[in-house]
Amino acid sequence: MNTNLLDVKNLCTYFYTDEGVVYALDGVSFSVKKGETLGIVGESGSGKSVAALSVMRLVQTPPGKIVSGEVLMNGENLLKLSGKEMRAVRGGKIAMIFQEPMTALNPVYTIGSQIMESPRIHRGLSRRQARRVAIEMLEKVGIPLPEKRVDDYPHQLSGGMRQRAMIAIALCCNPELLICDEPTTALDVTIQAQILELINDLKKEMNTSVLMITHDLGVVAQVSENVLVMYASKVMEYGGVKEVFTDPCHPYTKALLESMPAVESGRERLHVIEGMVPSLSNRPEGCLFHPRCERRMEICKTLRPELIMAPAGRWVRCWLYASGPRTLGSIERG
């Protein structure tokens, strides 16, 4: 019955720093179906990268700690696995691509040897077999002359080529889930499009599910079926990409969409969301977004809304859609 590859339930990840507890991820739930792409969007500091690292259990401990929740992969809770079992998952069933391909690649090893590492760990391949895999993967991700490039060092490749190599590293063990953490942010616009296309193509070819983490709504629109909008450690809105983007429910989603430059819309001025993302160690009371919200109501200042199913058929965390207090809001709006 459950066709979900990944079910994240009520995940909480906190960082215990000298300045206090930072609630980086607070009760986040989402799921990814087989072959589906879920986009997680949010401004920097919204906790979206921590979500990715928490799924991989790569949050640096200390100061970080996954406090509660479940990460179910094919029904198995990854948070309950031993260190050794988890290592078998990382790079095997779940692989990850990072934002900055220059620093994410080890400067003192060749591209080839860095691709070969996963197949040697997870598939027990010999050096020679792994090298063949590396060359195949380089070809697959569209790097010309893979037999030669396999012996290149990261600094000898361009940014786009490096990210392609990174993708080759991630996909060389046929992972069921690929987590991309801002994979195109550090790249030129033209290269960005190529990389996204490559990820999309490979996803279809290998029937991989993708978790696409980005601040760029355009990227989400281009590659994902579903989208999760995060704000200050919590999910604000969660649903199908088309629905959310054409008819956003949450005022924050709306504001985000309006702040996006869109060529065809002909809007003259970009909308700017007033204020700043709240500090995650000192969050406002009530709705986390209320200090910046244009449709703020009295209740928003004191009571934190729950994630509820809005009439539009998707999950929203906003008092506007709660039946009871909604009247309160209507009164205020007069």
Sites of contact with another protein (CB under 8 A): 56, 58, 62, 83, 87-92, 95-96, 98, 100, 103-109, 114, 117-118, 121-122, 153, 155-156, 166, 169
Residue number, 77 or 103, with CB nearest to another protein: 103
Nearest distance from C-beta of residue 170 to another protein, angstroms = 8
**Helix (H/G/I), strand (E/B), else coil: 220:** helix
Nearest distance from C-beta of residue 96 to another protein, angstroms = 4
Q: Is 90 left (phi over 0), alpha (psi -120 to 50) or beta?
A: beta
Nearest distance from C-beta of residue 152 to another protein, angstroms = 9
What span, in angstroms and rounded, lies between the C-alpha atoms of 103 and 262?
Answer: 32
Residue number, 164 or 250, with CB nearest to another protein: 164
Nearest distance from C-beta of residue 25 to another protein, angstroms = 17
Show Cβ contacts of residue 282 under 8 Å, excluding neighbours closer than 6 positions: 20
Nearest distance from C-beta of residue 259 to another protein, angstroms = 29
Residue number, 109 or 302, with CB nearest to another protein: 109
Alpha helices (runs of H) in 90-188, residue ranges in sequence order: 101-104, 111-122, 127-140, 146-149, 159-171
Residue number, 140 or 296, with CB nearest to another protein: 140
Structural contact between residues 184 and 195, judged by C-beta atoms closer than 8 angstroms? yes
Q: What is the DSSP string of 241-277?
A: HHHHHHS--SHHHHHHHHTS--TTT--SS-----S-P
Structural contact between residues 305 and 236, judged by C-beta atoms closer than 8 angstroms? no
What span, in angstroms and rounded, lies between the C-alpha atoms of 282 and 305?
Answer: 18
Nearest distance from C-beta of residue 158 to another protein, angstroms = 15
Nearest distance from C-beta of residue 39 to another protein, angstroms = 20
Which pair of structure tokens corresponds to residue 235?
Answer: 């999910």
Q: 209-214 and 37-41: which strand pairing?
A: parallel
Residue number, 149 or 290, with CB nearest to another protein: 149
Nearest distance from C-beta of residue 160 to another protein, angstroms = 17
Residue number, 212 or 318, with CB nearest to another protein: 212
Residue number, 88 or 270, with CB nearest to another protein: 88
CA distances from 218 to 180, 223, 257 (A): 15, 9, 10
Which pair of structure tokens corresponds to residue 192?
Answer: 């960005």
CB atoms closer than 10 angstroms to residue 306: 12
Residue number, 170 or 322, with CB nearest to another protein: 170
